[in-house]
Amino acid sequence: MCSSATEKRAGIIVQARLGSSRLPGKVLKPLVEGRTVLGYLLERLTFCQPAAKLIVATSLNPIDDPLAQQIAAWKIAFFRGSESDCLERYYSAARQFDLEIVARVTADCPLVIPSIVEEMIQYFRRNYDRIDYLSNRQYTDFPEGLDVEIFKTDLLEEGVREAQRLDEREHINYFFLNRPTRYRLRYYNHGRGRDYSRFKLSIDDAADLDRVRALFSHRGLPIDFTFDQLITALIAEETTP
């Protein structure tokens, strides 16, 4: 018997690896109060369970062996797959854990808000028959770096089967975004009436990491911050000389 849309099995799959070219090993670098970038993100996302299972998807490259060992020590479920074919990695992880809905989060976005992830998953469930892809990344008013994308596992399978271009295998969302007439793409806004997309919160290099650390150390951002507290800290940083 098929499950109803509100019962669809959902999972949050966090994409993580150690082989960053600009900041190698960044996901295991310290972020705040003894927590690493990835450790802090996972600690926060555990609050989304049991609404969605939490999984880390990393690669089979031996460079990621220490990462897999650390994830296992944290007692977080994980999957190892292709380093370059991220589309295949995500689809295989979803199948291994029997997911029907996949929420994608990347480890270079440690400030993702758990309540927003939950809101988006529930929105996707309620509108399951009308949405194929949901994102707060493109064309939205969220800060960059609070990124969540949600897919149906069945459509990930279509991408794995059909995608030929290397960029569509490497970047999971490209296959869907490149076919806007085929897939029903929807974009999720925060609903507060202001555009905060000018703020960058993802961690690509050492300067980004220092900037995020400073939100905690100099702008008073609480460890368990809410979206509104984050915006207050960002505006304080922007307006203070």
Q: Over the stretch 43-61, which tens digit does the pLDDT of each residue have?
A: 999 988 788 999 999 999 9
**Span 198-207, average pLDDT:** 97
* pLDDT the model gives residue 49: 79
CB 4 within 8 A of CB 73: no
Residues 144 and 64: their CA atoms lie apart, in Å, by 26
Q: How many domains does the chain have?
A: 1
* pLDDT the model gives residue 86: 97
Q: DSSP string covering the chain, please?
A: -PPPGGG--EEEEEE--S--SSSTTGGGSEEETTEEHHHHHHHHHGGGTTTSEEEEEEESSGGGHHHHHHHHHTT-EEEEE-SS-HHHHHHHHHHHTT-SEEEEEETT-TT--HHHHHHHHHHHHHTTTT-SEEESSTTSSSPBT---EEEEHHHHHHHHHH--SHHHHHSTTHHHHT-TTTS-EEE----SS---TT-B----SHHHHHHHHHHHHTS---TT--HHHHHHHHHHHHH--
Q: Where in the sequence is the domain holding 105, given as residue range(s)? A: 5-239
**Span 21-50, average pLDDT:** 95
Q: What is the mean pLDDT of the chain?
A: 94
**At 141, which CATH number?**
3.90.550.10
Q: How confident is the model at residue 6 (pLDDT cuts 50, 70, 90)?
A: low
